[in-house]
């Protein structure tokens, strides 16, 4: 009772807490807000970027450079500073890429930060016996707060008085219907009992006063939120792939490096020289610019997705969506429009369908029958909902209505067909009204008619169909009242069942013209004593309403299906409604049956049905509760079309885990706070931007700005595209590594003058190649992208053996050979024939030999040789660049011929090619002729690759599982 | 992955290396390996063929007598003899073993300049003008005599020790050969020496042979190894007759003439040479 409560919380219902007491409790309990999830300190994030990926290798390279600088400097060698600079450059590369990655991450985090900023909430509190507006954060246990319709509940509250109070608990429990609240204790379970209102839910209507019983993290929502932060964040698939790739390349780099370190030591190179070789090999092997390129590509896609209403919080999630194999979707708001709409009508013994699309302007069904005229009049008049003023210019469907969902639906429906409802109501002045209540289950109003000659009053009534029918003795058929015999009642039952079976909410409508003589103009209608007839009315028709699917959803679902993605509906709604929506959007396809359907068709008990025959399943939350994990796995595995109805938030988590046990990459959509654990658990959590709560948005990786399921599908497409394109980028980048590595290996083994310098390699990796590899991210999809199955996490890797082998051992080798031809050409044209070059290294690099004889008998100083060597570097660089152009063109496609894909569809590729050549021109000055030496090899690369693509077996197409 | 023992991993590794059931090595059967090796054999052979072909075509475009470009090798660099390990010539007069290696090196180097050898192989040319030999590029070119005796006191004929035993060492200066290069543009290139850094008076006198330390025009141009078989580079001998004893004297000898560059910082052997003389008692 109230006094017990007062005692328990040390407060007074009339006076509230004293300010000083409140301050004490505030100090004890802390502010009434959810503690945000612990953020990693910025500096730690930054340092992580500095040591992740290839950075370690490059740091090693830099440290080695400095060590060899130290040794050389101590020995007084001639040019020790080269190594110092190299080390500095390597360190700079690491730091710059680190800063870049950090910046990118910070940018995407910032987008989200704007979401989590909540408008400071105010609460009306009684303290020191005065009503005060206080920020909700300062509420403490024992405070008395007042709530009215439209407010957000500022804390967990035990109600002590309530007037028609209804709360929307959807963010907590997923129930979309507002629930009434009173001060009566009705249930042991705090979630079920009617006298508690929960933090962050909304009061829809009515007013209430209550005592704060929990604040901050101790509220029910707070506990769920902390549950969410307890669910570990899984590594995204792309992060795993990139890690795999880094290991692979680092493995190659380290093993080749160590191998050649040993070889060079045993070939009696000095240790110091061997270390320098090692640095060169590491630098050649590590694609310095690649991780930055990947980040850029991902953020480009993220931008593109943002334009399509998918706001990506975590860059890597861009790709996750592409590898998604199961989508667990909410129903309300995501698949459906989240507003009741009239879907069917029944009058004149016939069912008519109404247009339920988002932007209806007319209704196509037959409106000529006089029955419809009568029905429409009831719909218009027996309705308390009203448009908010000042919205005349908005489309009807977008206008804001004051009133409950059904009435809103009816109002809009009437407005679409009849035009200005308000003026019709004004012409038919209301004289009396009984609003809907749960005992009567009907709503009634009495109007004057708009016909000035007709002095009768019109009584209109709507409500639960069976209750309405009970009060009727006649039924209107084609405008004529006919007696309601059992045959007609039967027809009514059939129609009612049919509409109900479609998961629709059905309302019955009836009317009665009150006889003029009994009810004259001045008749005093009294709604309490009901001094007018409420039976023997004339039944007019039924209207059924549903929250209709968004018009884009069926198409999106079928796209998912052909893309091999299983769409599972998880909803708190009633199974029948859920199944109806699932059918209408294609989650359950027209031909497939559930176990129950088969049983019904074959007329056998459910137990006897062969469960394997049923492709679809509708699972009730109650059934799910009793299921073992195995049974759940069984269902997830054996049914391709699944709907979970009446599920609780915890069950959503179980379903997600079940899907993940199947090895699937699971996307989950959700909007409520209760969804946040599932969103977090999912491989990619998708929160709704409009309906979503902040907690959901925080837990999610992605936010759908338009709450539309179809946006997910575009997201999937982008995700798959970027995965393909990243593959291309990586293949493109890896190829030239061989052309950069071979010079070192051949230099060590054949002792020729160094063909390419470490810094030159960096020019390629961080100069010419960057823009082209980003350009590949703009590549359009190869035709089959949405007809493929989602990639298998284990088999279909970003960098697989085939890609590595093809890049390294085939295209890479061709490139190296091409570059070496240029190299030998440069030397030969300057006087050193290839035969002279072999084994020449020691003398060539000897500073004292300044009359080094070439193949023609000319004599060279050391510096002249070095200058020639640099020319060689440049020529090597140029020919790698030229061949990278060919590489870029072949990498545009993975399977299609370039003739199919077209050279000009991706304009950015051309920007890439021109930038590549432009940068090379700026960085180098060599004779134009050397640009063309490698061209035959560039052509060879292209021809070879076309043949390779021709030889590929066609991809297996998908068939839904 | 985390809960596998090392033994499991080792076992897996072993089956990966050789799987007796499926008869696969490293995950492939013998046939598959064979096909792969065959493929790469063919692939690399073709590639090698293409490489060879390109190189062949490239070599076809080259002239065997003159390199296509000579922009990197000119203007000429300079070297000295004796050259043992570096550019420091240090010895004690009284200790024969300290200067004998230099003398040996000089004798060895000058063997090709013996008067007899030169008379036998080369012709006498007209001094003071370039010895331009026209005709077909592939014709063998005559070379001009550069007799050792031209070096007079530094020829090693009279003084077998090239002055080392007296503390007056001879050092030979050689200009790098460049095909077709005509040094000095009509005026013979001359040589002078000075102290590179430090007291000018450390180097009191140097004698130059032949002439006054000039490279006669008749030795140019050079036609290349193949046709100019017996070409011997002309030399200038520098006889350091009075150099400060018992200290390290850095000396820079430079060429002077039209087209000669001797002041590039990055290349300290272009048109000049720097070496140390240290003559002890």
Q: Does A932 touch chain B (CB under 8 A)?
A: no
Which residues does chain A have within 8 Å of residue B62's beta carbon, measured at their own beta carbons?
A: 828-829, 833
Mutate to test the interface with B, among A240, A859, A934 (most CBs of B within 10 A): A859
Half-sphere exposure of A737 (CA within 13 A, CB side): 27
> pLDDT at position A51, please?
78
Q: Does A860 touch chain B (CB under 8 A)?
A: yes
Alpha-carbon distance A214 to A191, whole Å?
Answer: 14
For residue B173, the chain A residue with the least C-alpha distance is A851
Interface A–B counts its CB contacts (< 8 A) at: 117
**Which helix (H) or strand (E) is A431 found in, with range?**
strand A430-434
Look at B47 and A936 and tell me if their CB atoms are within 8 Å. no
> pLDDT at position A172, please?
67
Which residues does chain A have within 8 Å of residue B269's beta carbon, measured at their own beta carbons?
A: 850, 861-863
CA A796 to chain B, closest CA, distance in angstroms equals 18
> pLDDT at position A620, please?
85
Alpha-carbon distance A570 to A549, whole Å?
Answer: 15
Q: Which of A821, A850, A859 sits opposite B58 (nearest CB)?
A: A821
> pLDDT at position B213, please?
86
Catalytic-role residue among A143, A151, A168, A330: A330
Q: ipTM score of the complex?
A: 0.92
CA B152 to chain A, closest CA, distance in angstroms equals 25
Which residues does chain B have within 8 Å of residue A810's beta carbon, measured at their own beta carbons?
A: 43
Which residues does chain A have within 8 Å of residue B50's beta carbon, measured at their own beta carbons?
A: 817, 936-937, 940
Chain B residues contacting A via beta carbons under 8 Å: 40, 43-44, 47, 50-51, 54-55, 58-59, 62, 65-70, 72-73, 76-79, 83, 85-87, 174, 176-179, 222, 224-226, 228, 231, 264, 266-270, 273
Q: Which of B58, B226, B266 sits opposite A863 (nearest CB)?
A: B266
Which residues does chain A have within 8 Å of residue B53's beta carbon, measured at their own beta carbons?
A: none
> pLDDT at position A233, please?
60
Alpha-carbon distance A680 to A703, whole Å?
Answer: 13
Q: Does A316 touch chain B (CB under 8 A)?
A: no
Give CB contacts under 8 A, 24+ apart, made by A744-748: A744/A260, A744/A277, A744/A280, A744/A281, A744/A284, A745/A256, A745/A260, A745/A281, A746/A820, A747/A277, A747/A841, A748/A260, A748/A263, A748/A264, A748/A267, A748/A269, A748/A277
Percent of chain B with pLDDT over 70: 99
Which stretches of chain A score pLDDT less than 50?
114-119, 957-961
Look at A855 and B69 and tell me if their CB atoms are within 8 Å. no
For residue A861, the chain B residue with the least C-alpha distance is B77
Look at A859 and B176 and tell me if their CB atoms are within 8 Å. yes
Residues 6+ apart with CB under 8 A from A784: A895, A955, A957
> pLDDT at position B2, please?
47
Which residues does chain A have within 8 Å of residue B226's beta carbon, measured at their own beta carbons?
A: 856-857
A370-381 helix and A405-418 helix, angle to the nearest 10 degrees: 130
Q: pLDDT of B160-208, one tens digit each? A: 889 898 889 999 999 999 998 988 888 889 999 989 888 888 888 889 9
Alpha-carbon distance A157 to A159, whole Å?
Answer: 6
Contact status, residue A275 vs residue A64, Cβ threshold 8 Å: yes
Question: What sections of chain B are H helices per DSSP?
Answer: 6-17, 30-60, 96-110, 115-121
Residues 6+ apart with CB under 8 A from A294: A242, A726, A729
Alpha-carbon distance A902 to A436, whole Å?
Answer: 66
Alpha-carbon distance B194 to B275, whole Å?
Answer: 11
Look at B66 and A856 and tell me if their CB atoms are within 8 Å. yes
Percent of chain A with pLDDT over 70: 93
Alpha-carbon torsion angle A628, A632, A638, A641, nearest 10: 150
Question: What is the pTM (predicted TM-score) of this model?
Answer: 0.80
Contact status, residue A212 vs residue A140, Cβ threshold 8 Å: yes
A709-750 helix and A553-562 helix, angle to the nearest 10 degrees: 30
Structure tokens at B196: 């590179």
Q: Does A346 touch chain B (CB under 8 A)?
A: no
Q: Does A341 touch chain B (CB under 8 A)?
A: no
Contact status, residue A936 vs residue A883, Cβ threshold 8 Å: no
Look at A829 and B69 and tell me if their CB atoms are within 8 Å. yes
For residue B274, the chain A residue with the least C-alpha distance is A848
For residue B229, the chain A residue with the least C-alpha distance is A857
Q: Does A800 touch chain B (CB under 8 A)?
A: no
Sign of CA dihedral B121, B126, B130, B131: negative
Look at A856 and B67 and tell me if their CB atoms are within 8 Å. yes
**CA distances from residue A682 to A175, A232, A235, A236, A237 in whole angstroms, order as listed:** 22, 10, 11, 10, 12
Q: Does A871 touch chain B (CB under 8 A)?
A: yes
Look at A936 and B177 and tell me if their CB atoms are within 8 Å. no
CA B116 to chain A, closest CA, distance in angstroms equals 24
**Residue A158, phi then psi, degrees to nearest 5:** -90, 120
Round the average pLDDT of chain A to a whole number and report it: 82
Alpha-carbon distance B190 to A564, whole Å?
Answer: 86
A217 is catalytic: no
> pLDDT at position A961, please?
33
Which residues does chain B have within 8 Å of residue A829's beta carbon, measured at their own beta carbons?
A: 62, 67-69
Question: What sections of A502-574 are H helices per DSSP?
Answer: 553-562
Which residues does chain B have within 8 Å of residue A830's beta carbon, measured at their own beta carbons?
A: 67-70, 72-73
CA B255 to chain A, closest CA, distance in angstroms equals 15
Mutate to test the interface with A, among B37, B44, B72 (most CBs of A within 10 A): B72
**Residue A213, phi then psi, degrees to nearest 5:** -110, -25
Q: Which of A834, A851, A854 sits opposite B79 (nearest CB)?
A: A851
The single residue listed with the structure tokens 């007084």 is: A76
Q: Which of A265, A264, A285, A259 is nearest to A58 (CA)?
A: A285
Would you call A135 helix, strand, or coil by DSSP?
strand
Q: Does A78 touch chain B (CB under 8 A)?
A: no
Q: Does A862 touch chain B (CB under 8 A)?
A: yes
Q: Does A858 touch chain B (CB under 8 A)?
A: yes
CA B208 to chain A, closest CA, distance in angstroms equals 22
Residues 6+ apart with CB under 8 A from A1: none
CA B126 to chain A, closest CA, distance in angstroms equals 24
Interface of A with B in 579-618 (CB under 8 A): none
Q: Which of A722, A788, A794 is nearest to A954 (CA)?
A: A788
pLDDT at residue B238 above 80?
yes
Look at A936 and B66 and tell me if their CB atoms are within 8 Å. no
> pLDDT at position A825, please?
92
Contact status, residue A210 vs residue A157, Cβ threshold 8 Å: yes
Look at A862 and B54 and tell me if their CB atoms are within 8 Å. no
> pLDDT at position A502, please?
82
């Amino acid at each position: 009772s109230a006094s017990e409560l007062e005692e328990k919380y040390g407060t007074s219902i009339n006076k509230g807490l004293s300010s000083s007491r409140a301050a004490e409790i505030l100090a004890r309990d802390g502010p009434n807000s959810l503690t945000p999830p612990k953020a990693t300190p910025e500096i730690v994030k930054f340092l992580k970027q500095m040591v992740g990926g290839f950075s370690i290798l490059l740091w090693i390279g830099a440290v080695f450079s400095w060590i060899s600088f130290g040794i050389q400097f101590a020995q007084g060698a001639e040019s020790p500073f080269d190594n110092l600079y190299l080390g500095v450059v390597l360190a700079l590369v690491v730091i710059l890429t680190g800063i870049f990655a950090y910046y990118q991450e910070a940018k995407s985090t910032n987008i989200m930060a704007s979401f989590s900023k909540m408008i400071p909430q105010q609460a009306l509190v009684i303290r020191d016996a005065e009503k005060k507006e206080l920020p909700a954060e300062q509420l403490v246990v024992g405070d008395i707060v007042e709530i009215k319709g439209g407010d957000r509940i500022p804390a967990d509250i035990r109600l002590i008085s309530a007037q028609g109070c209804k709360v929307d608990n959807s963010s907590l429990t997923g129930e979309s219907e507002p629930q009434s609240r009173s001060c009566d204790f009705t249930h042991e379970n705090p979630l079920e009992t009617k006298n508690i209102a929960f933090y962050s839910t909304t009061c829809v209507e009515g007013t209430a006063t209550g005592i704060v019983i929990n604040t901050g993290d101790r509220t029910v929502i707070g506990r769920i939120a902390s549950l969410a932060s307890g669910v570990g964040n899984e590594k995204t698939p792309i992060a795993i792939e990139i890690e795999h790739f880094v290991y692979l390349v680092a493995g190659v780099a380290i093993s080749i490096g160590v191998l050649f370190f040993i070889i060079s030591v045993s070939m009696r190179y000095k240790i110091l020289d061997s270390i320098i070789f090692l640095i060169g090999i590491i630098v050649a092997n590590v694609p310095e610019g690649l991780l930055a390129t990947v980040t850029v590509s991902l953020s480009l896609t993220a931008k593109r997705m943002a334009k399509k209403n998918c706001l990506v919080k975590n860059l890597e999630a861009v790709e996750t969506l592409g590898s998604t194999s199961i989508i667990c979707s909410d129903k309300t708001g995501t698949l459906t429009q989240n507003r009741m709409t009239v879907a069917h009508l029944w009058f004149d013994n016939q069912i008519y369908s109404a247009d339920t699309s988002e932007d209806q302007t007319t209704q196509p069904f037959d409106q000529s029958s006089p029955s419809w005229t009568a029905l429409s009049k009831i719909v218009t008049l027996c309705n308390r909902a009203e448009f908010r003023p000042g919205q005349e210019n908005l489309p009807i469907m977008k206008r804001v209505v004051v009133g409950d969902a059904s009435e809103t639906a009816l109002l809009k429906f009437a407005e679409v067909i009849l035009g200005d409802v308000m003026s019709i109501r004004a012409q038919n002045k209301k004289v009396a009204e009984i609003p809907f209540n749960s005992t009567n289950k009907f709503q009634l109003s009495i109007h004057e008619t708009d016909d000035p000659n007709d002095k009768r009053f019109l009584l209109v009534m709507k409500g639960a169909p069976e209750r309405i029918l009970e009060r009727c003795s006649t039924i209107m058929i084609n405008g004529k009242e006919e007696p309601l015999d059992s045959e007609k009642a039967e027809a009514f039952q059939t129609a009612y069942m049919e509409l109900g079976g479609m998961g629709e909410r059905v309302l019955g409508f009836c009317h009665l013209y009150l006889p003029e003589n009994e009810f004259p103009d001045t008749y005093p209608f009294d709604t309490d004593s009901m001094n007018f007839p409420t039976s023997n009315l004339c039944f007019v028709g039924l209207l059924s309403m549903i929250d209709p699917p968004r018009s884009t959803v069926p198409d999106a679902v079928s796209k998912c299906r052909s893309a091999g993605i299983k769409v599972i509906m998880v909803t708190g709604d009633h199974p029948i409604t859920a199944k109806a929506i699932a059918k209408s959007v294609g989650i359950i396809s027209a031909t497939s049956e559930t176990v129950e359907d088969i049983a019904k068709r074959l007329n056998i008990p459910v137990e006897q049905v062969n469960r394997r025959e049923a492709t679809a399943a509708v699972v009730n939350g109650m059934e799910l509760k009793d299921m073992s994990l195995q049974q759940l796995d069984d269902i997830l595995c054996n049914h391709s079309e699944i709907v979970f109805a009446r599920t609780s938030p915890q069950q959503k988590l179980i379903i997600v885990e079940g899907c993940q046990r199947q090895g699937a990459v699971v996307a989950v959509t959700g909007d409520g706070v209760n969804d946040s654990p599932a969103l977090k658990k999912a491989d990619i959590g998708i929160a709704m931007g409009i309906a979503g709560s902040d907690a959901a948005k925080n837990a999610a990786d992605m936010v759908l700005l338009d709450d539309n399921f179809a946006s997910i599908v575009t997201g999937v497409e982008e995700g798959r595209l970027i995965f393909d394109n990243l593959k291309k980028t990586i293949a493109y980048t890896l190829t030239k590594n061989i052309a950069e590595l071979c010079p070192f290996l051949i230099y060590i083994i054949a002792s020729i003058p160094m063909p390419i310098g470490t810094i030159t390699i960096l020019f390629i990796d961080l100069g010419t190649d960057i823009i082209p590899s980003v350009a590949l991210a703009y590549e359009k999809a190869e035709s089959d992208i949405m007809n493929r199955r989602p990639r298998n996490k284990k088999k279909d890797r970003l960098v697989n053996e085939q890609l590595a082998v093809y890049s390294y051992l085939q295209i890479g080798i061709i490139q190296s050979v091409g570059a070496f031809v240029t190299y030998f050409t440069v030397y030969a044209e300057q006087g050193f024939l290839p035969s002279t070059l072999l084994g020449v290294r020691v003398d060539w690099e000897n500073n004292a030999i300044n009359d080094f004889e070439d193949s023609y008998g000319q004599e060279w100083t050391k510096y002249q040789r070095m200058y020639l060597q640099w020319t060689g570097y440049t020529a090597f660089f140029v020919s790698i660049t030229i061949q990278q152009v060919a590489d870029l063109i072949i990498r545009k496609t993975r399977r299609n011929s370039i003739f199919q894909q077209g050279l000009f569809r991706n304009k950015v590729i051309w920007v890439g090619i021109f930038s590549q050549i432009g940068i090379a021109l700026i960085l180098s000055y060599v004779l134009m002729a050397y640009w063309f030496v490698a061209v035959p090899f560039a052509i060879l690369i292209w021809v070879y690759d076309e043949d390779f693509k021709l030889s590929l077996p066609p991809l297996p197409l998908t068939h839904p599982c | 992955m985390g809960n596998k023992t090392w033994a499991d991993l080792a076992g897996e590794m072993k089956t990966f290396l050789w799987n007796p059931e499926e008869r696969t090595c490293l995950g492939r059967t013998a046939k598959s390996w064979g096909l792969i090796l065959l493929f790469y054999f063919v692939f690399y052979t073709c590639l090698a063929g293409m490489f060879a072909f390109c190189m062949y075509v490239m070599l076809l475009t080259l002239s065997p007598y003159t390199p296509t470009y000579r922009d990197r090798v000119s203007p000429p660099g300079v070297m000295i003899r004796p050259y043992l390990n570096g550019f420091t010539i240090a010895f004690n007069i009284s200790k024969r073993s300290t200067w004998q290696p230099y003398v040996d090196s000089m004798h060895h180097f000058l063997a090709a300049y013996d008067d007899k050898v030169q008379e036998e192989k080369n012709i006498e040319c007209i001094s003071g003008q370039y010895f331009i030999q026209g005709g077909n590029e592939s014709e063998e070119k005559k070379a001009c005599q550069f007799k050792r005796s031209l070096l007079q006191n530094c020829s090693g004929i009279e003084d077998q020790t090239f002055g080392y035993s007296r503390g007056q060492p001879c050092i030979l200066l050689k200009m790098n050969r460049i095909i077709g290069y005509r040094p000095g543009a009509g005026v013979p290139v001359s040589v002078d020496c000075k102290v590179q850094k430090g007291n000018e008076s450390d180097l009191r006198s140097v004698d130059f042979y032949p002439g006054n330390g000039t490279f006669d025009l008749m030795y140019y141009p050079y036609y290349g190894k193949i046709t100019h078989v017996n070409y011997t580079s002309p030399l200038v001998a520098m006889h350091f007759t009075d150099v400060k004893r018992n200290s390290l004297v850095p000396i820079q000898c430079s060429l002077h003439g039209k087209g000669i560059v001797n002041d590039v910082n990055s290349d300290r052997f272009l048109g000049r040479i720097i070496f140390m003389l240290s003559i002890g008692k």
